[in-house]
Chains A and B, each alone.
Chain A
Amino acid sequence: MSSVLITILSLSSMGIVAAIILYLVAQKFKVLENPKIDDVEDALPATNCGGCGYPGCRNFAEVCVNSDTLDDLYCPVGGQETMDIVANLLGKVALQTDPRVAVIRCSGSFENRPRTNHYDGASSCAVASALYVGDTDCPVGCLGMADCVVVCDFEAIYMDDKTDLPVVIDDKCTACGACVKACPRDIIELRKRNKKDRQIFVSCINEEKGGIAKKYCSVACTGCTKCFKVCEFDAITMGNNLAFIDSDKCVLCRKCVPECPTDAILEINFLPRKTKPDKEKIIPLNKIPEKVKTDIKE
């Protein structure tokens, strides 16, 4: 009996001594932190994706608390809502920023862009891009090895087996920008998120002369300026044989889309055009998200 008592007593006294030491050490090395940092961190989405430009959510919270304004700070994942909460907590004002979404600006599928060689190296766009032009002749087109899919923390991109191109799932995309950084060819752009995730964009970034670009890829932008001429809102700019639609200015009127002779301008998440059934092919069938496909069936 006594041995049991001794055991209990000695163990619990050891525990108490250890607790006292721990308490003293904790007191001694206590770091005074602004409690607001914790509050702000709680308001953040805790994804630690780095989309804000800081290594993690806590780091971002610290910066928010310590900086004078929230002007340069934006959490793309939480969006405007989160920034408003943070601004409330800190008594500061958050800038109004439109939510964004990642868009893949290449339509070089197997059909549109013939493969000219076979790549057999490490399966990484970065490796292939550093090595050579890629398995097509287009020096800026998608390499199809899914570096963007690998870096996405939100499973918002997947590779389409038929086209060998990545597809963004608009609902899941938080515009953290990880894929934009990962893409060695800068194909992915963060564009303004529109109602019902509608988007009109030039799905090509090839700046070579029209004839040359067209040789590699049947849906390349040739820089013909037809869309530029038809746009009434100054949303389209031309530069280096390439048209670019500014998502902040575009009003989604869809006038430029049928003008494009190479179908390089894509419209996604729109209902099919009723008046001109022959123009339905503007969206390559496999580019239509599932949602719209079911809409069409209905």
Chain B
Amino acid sequence: MSKLLTVSPSPHIYGKDTTPNLMYGVIIALIPAILASIFYFGWGAVIVISVAVISSVLFEFLIQRFLLQKKTTIQDGSAVITGLLLALCLPSNFPVLLIISGSLFAIGVGKLSFGGLGNNPFNPALVGRVFLFISFPAKMTSWPQAQGFQTQYVDASTGATPLSIIKEGLDKGDSISQLMDKIPTYPQLFIGDTGGSIGEIAAVALILGLVYLLLRKIITWHIPVSIILTVVIFTGILWLVDPSQNADPLFHILSGGILLGAIFMATDYVTSPMTTKGMIAYGISIGILTVVIRRFGSFPEGVQFAILIMNGFVPLINYYIKPKRFGEEVKNG
């Protein structure tokens, strides 16, 4: 026998999933949201997305190559996702330099300072987004209205998101029914015809992405469904108690970043729990925190903060919530 046999421990075959495959799957799932953002915001969206993605990948490459001097991992697609998610929760007229600084913070501080892919405790895109939100609140909350390619980038008129209309209105003492007239109708919210971050507005595009992710088995239903259900139940209770001061559940789901957060950000592999029980606990906590921040906090939107806070609890969840072991409960019959 001329060639040597190969020996290794079992198993001897492997599944088809690889890290880049899964990452590119998430990118594919984001395509509807990207298309919707370009449809509504035209060149603004194109610029925000391309700057965020290119700068994220570039920073990952530069830092790994020259600062850390180890193998670069840009080809696995995780930096692309970070850039995409960061872009999707920015307004379309966001200054390019600030986007670049956001990417730098997301990749440099949020991801690589912890040891790169797999070791970051917080979702890098959210770290970048919150960094921008706290550093440049004015720029982060001037939302151009969705107007597609027709309008020139510089002249885009700005306005408030449905969530901030409600929040500010309630603070002024208006009732929900008065405020509801000022915001777009639910079908408009569903297809994304409203103001807001470029990727958050079109619920239909995000739900398409969710369907793809579930069909490809990239994520399980536990996190998105538990977040959305919790928000529905919690806001539903508030709404039933006092409909004049609380918007109804459907409004809460369709407006703001809940869908983007629940489908793409909370489900980030690295920063979400490992067990299904843990995922549900994590989802419910995010849901409750989101509603608490939206209703009782000073910000109109809370899903990003809620996810980041729960990211911090993930190690604890993993430590205490174990999967049900086989043979744990003895059932005979």
Residues of A whose CB lies within 8 Å of any CB of B are 115-122, 127, 131-132, 135
A119 and chain B: residue at smallest CB distance:
B7
Give Cα A118 to B4, complex, Å.
6
A120 B4 Cβ-Cβ under 8 A:
no
Asked whether, in the complex, the Cβ of A127 is within 8 Å of the Cβ of B9, the reply is yes
Q: Which residues of A contact B4 (CB under 8 A)?
A: 115-118
Question: With a CB–CB cut-off of 8 A, which chain A residues contact B8?
Answer: 119-121, 131
Q: Does B6 contact A (CB under 8 A)?
A: yes
A117 lies within 8 A of B9 (CB): no
Least distance between B327 CB and chain A CB atoms (Å): 26
Chain A minimum-CB-distance residue to B12: A120
Q: Write the nearest CB–CB distance from B3 to chain A, whole angstroms.
A: 9
Q: Name B residues whose Cβ lies closer than 8 Å to a Cβ of A.
A: 4-9
Could you write out 15 A-B pairs with CB less than 8 Å apart?
A: A115-B4, A117-B4, A117-B5, A117-B7, A118-B4, A118-B5, A118-B6, A118-B7, A119-B7, A119-B8, A120-B7, A121-B9, A131-B9, A132-B7, A135-B7
Q: How close is A134's CB to chain B, nearest CB, in angstroms?
A: 9
Interchain CA distance A119-B4 in the complex, whole Å: 10
Shortest CB-to-CB span from B6 to chain A, Å, is: 5
Chain A proximity of B243: nearest CB distance (Å): 43
Q: How far is the CB of B297 from chain A (nearest CB, A)?
A: 26
Q: Which residues of B contact A119 (CB under 8 A)?
A: 6-8
**Which residues in A have their C-beta under 8 angstroms from that of B7?**
117-121, 131-132, 135
B6 contacts which chain A residues (CB < 8 A)?
117-120
Known: A117-B5, A122-B9. 20 other contacts (CB 8 A): A115-B4, A116-B4, A117-B4, A117-B6, A117-B7, A118-B5, A118-B6, A118-B7, A119-B6, A119-B8, A120-B6, A120-B7, A120-B8, A121-B7, A121-B8, A127-B9, A131-B7, A131-B8, A131-B9, A132-B7
> Contacts of B5 on A, CB cut-off 8 Å?
117-118
Assembly CA distance A120 to B9 (angstroms): 8
Please give me the residue from chain B that is nearest to A127 by CB atom: B9
Q: In the docked arrangement, what's the CA distance between A135 and B5, Å?
A: 10
A181 to B6, CA, bound (A): 28
**Chain B residues with CB below 8 A from A117, complex form:** 4-7
The distance from the CB of B306 to the nearest CB of chain A, in whole angstroms, is 31
Q: How far is the CB of B99 from chain A (nearest CB, A)?
A: 39
Q: Report B77 CB to chain A, min CB distance, Å.
A: 26
